[in-house]
Structure 1
Amino acid sequence: MSKQGVQNGKETATDKPKKHWSLGLLKSMKDPKSIYKETKKVVVIKDKYPKAKVHYLVLPRDEISSIYKLNKDHVDLLEEFGKIFEEIQTDHSNLMLCSGFHAVPSMQRLHMHIISKDMISSCLKTKIHWNSFTTKFFLPYRDVFKKLKEDGYIDKISPEAHKKFMSTPLKCNQCDFEPKNMPQLKQHLLTHCDE
């Protein structure tokens, strides 16, 4: 029997359980306003909370939860990710882009980040945001592709390594500057935009 509520004298179905935020990529993949590019195998969406001037997510149409579910059958899919990255780099030839995967993804669907090196964004707020793209926590696409092609799987990082990467002291990704805090880093990053 479904639960019912009463509102203004009328029976109503109670609220449906809300889906966890980590499942939100699927909804964005279906939203025409979010889609930047698509092929038969992949959909590229704009990151809802971009951490740089350019920030896209490349997702497979097939349901794959993370890089740790990939095997040799997925080499062609990852090759497609690489081609998409090259196309997007051409689209944004005025910026230097990076592509890669978070070692411990927060969202429950395989996705590759394509992000510009400037890291200029109002959504870049915390040390964890910064370190998730500027330490070895960010697994470069070419390394993941090579590992998958050669070994057929991707190694998980240990909880200790995860903790270490997230607590790494702040350091500019474009020079040797070591800021004391995020506001100082963000101010410093603007100096690289003038170069």
Structure 2
Amino acid sequence: MTSCGKDWAVGLIAAIKDSKNHVISSDIAVVIPDKYPKAKHHYLVLPKGDIPDIFHELYLLAQNVIEVKRCHMDDFQIGFHAQPSMQRLHLHVISKDFVSDCLKTKKHWASFNTELFLPYQDAYARLEMEGCIKPLAKERVQELGGSELICNQCEFVAKNMPDLKRHLYDHWMEKQ
């Protein structure tokens, strides 16, 4: 938790209540832009309340926001953080470009490009088979947070975040 305390962790609940934040919504969930996007497109799909089974609805809204933004599913990853830092379950819908000024640290990168990011299909399968998703061991989280900066689009290994960001930008420019 940061020095912002609990206010930071519950910030998503306030964002749900303000319809100006909604990209799209349904009766039970909303899609909002991530306040600190780590890619060109980065959205959060959040349930409006605490309900027992929302996985299917969240995934449908994730697909819908990609369609609304006129993008392609193959250019996105959809999933959950294995070690959530915010209160309220939320599903990330994030483009694979990772071109963003808010992508600043190895921790940011690792949270979407290692086991710290749990793809929707994997989370759903685990819940179906095991009934729960167990948190990663603290040691594993630390190990993943310090992993090499390997490009998510090729085998390039960056020396540091600025090096990785330049490389990712080059990938993005090739697609423009």
Question: Which TM-score applies when normalising by structure 2?
Answer: 0.89
Runs (4 or more) in structure 1 with deviation over 6 Å come to: none
> Who is 1:136 aligned against?
115
Aligned to 2:149: 170
Partner of 1:12: none
Q: How many residues align?
A: 168
- Give the deviation of 1:90 after TM superposition: 2.1
Q: CA RMSD in A?
A: 1.6
Shift of 1:61: 1.5
Kindly indicate whether the alpha-carbon contact (under 8 Å) linking 2:46 and 2:88 is maintained by their aligned counterparts in 1.
yes
Identity, % of aligned positions: 45
Answering whether residue 96 of structure 2 is matched by residue 117 of structure 1, we say yes
2:71 is matched with 93
Cross-structure match for 1:58: 45
Tell me which amino acid in the other structure corresponds to 1:60. Answer: P
Residue 20 (structure 2) pairs with residue 33 (structure 1) = yes
Structure 1: gaps spanning 5 or more residues: 1-17, 65-72
Would you tell me which structure has more helix in proportion to its own residues? 2
Q: Partners of 1:78 and 1:107 in 2: how far apart?
A: 18
Which has the higher mean CA deviation after the structures are superposed, 175-184 or 141-150?
141-150
CA distance in 1, matches of 2:66, 2:121: 15
Q: Determine if contact 2:30/2:47 at 8 Å carries over to the other structure.
A: yes
**Which is greater in Rg?**
1
1:84 aligns with 2:71: no
TM-score by length of 1: 0.81
Q: Distance in 2 between matches of 1:33 and 1:121?
A: 23
- 8 Å CA contact 2:78–2:92 kept in 1: the answer is yes
1:153 counterpart = 2:136: no
Alignment partners' CA distance in 2, 1:186 and 1:123: 11
Aligned position for 2:10: 23
Stretch deviating more after TM superposition (24-33 or 88-97): 88-97
Measured in 1, the distance between the counterparts of 2:24 and 2:130 equals 30
Q: CA deviation at 1:142?
A: 0.5
